[in-house]
Amino acid sequence: MSVTIPVVETDRLILRAPRFEDLDALCGFYADPRAHFIGGPLDRGEVWRLLLRTAGHWQIRGYGIWHITLRDTGDMIGHTGVLHHIEWPEPELCYGIFAGFEGKGFAHEAAEAARVAAAGHFGLTRLISPIDPANDRSRALLLRLGAHFEREDTLLGQTVHVYRHPEQRGDA
C-alpha cells in the first residue's frame, strides 16, 4: 500500500510528511526533559525508531503525524496529526512544539489545521486528546482549541485525562 501524505499549509506553517532529515531536530526535542509527557527523553536510536513508526503509521492507518515547518525558513519546529495506536480507544489529535517556538501560537495554528485536515482528508471528525493530568500547557491549548474534558482513563498503565474536540465537518 502506498499512501500520499497531503501537505497542509497555514499562514505561517507547512505540515508535511516525516523525513529522514528531521532526525536531528527530533533528537533535540526528545532529549529535552519536557518530552517526558510523550514518552521521552529518548536517545538517538529510540528517536530513529519513533521516526520509523511515524512513517509506518501513515502506511498502515492511512493517516498520521505531520512534521511542522516554518513557511519562511523550512525549519522543523514540531509535529501534529492523528495517532491511533491499537491501545487507544479512538483516534487522537496530538501535537508537540520544540523549545524556543512555544508561546507564539504555532501549536494552536498547527493543531487546528491538522484537525480540519483530518476531517476533510480522512473523515476523522470526532477526535480525542488524552494528556497527562499534570501537563498544564497541553490542557490550556486543548481549551483554546475548544476541546472539553470528557473523562479520566488509563493508557499504557498511565492515568490520562481525555479531552474531546468539537465535531469537525468533513468538508471543511
Residue 4 is given by DSSP the state P
pLDDT at 36: 65
Give the pLDDT score at 127: 98
How much is the pLDDT for 34? 76
pLDDT at 151 over 80: yes
Note the pLDDT tens digit of each residue in 82-135: 999 999 899 999 999 999 999 999 999 999 999 999 999 999 999 999 999 999
What's the rounded Cα separation, in Å, for the pair 35 and 151?
A: 23
- Residue 172 predicted with pLDDT over 60: no
Q: Report d(CA 66, CA 16) in Å as an integer.
A: 5
The per-residue pLDDT of the chain, averaged, comes to 93
Averaged pLDDT, 53-64 = 96
> Do the beta carbons of residue 78 and residue 114 sit within 8 Å?
no
Crossing angle of helices 106-122/136-144, nearest 10°?
Answer: 60
CATH code of 8-124, in short, is 3.40.630.30
What is the distance between the alpha carbons of residues 70 and 165, in angstroms, rounded to a whole number?
Answer: 25
- pTM score over 0.95: no
Rg (CA), the chain: 15
Q: Which three cell numbers stand for residue 41?
A: 527523553
Closest CA to 14 of 130, 117, 128: 117
* Cα dihedral: 99, 7, 167, 139 (round 10): 0
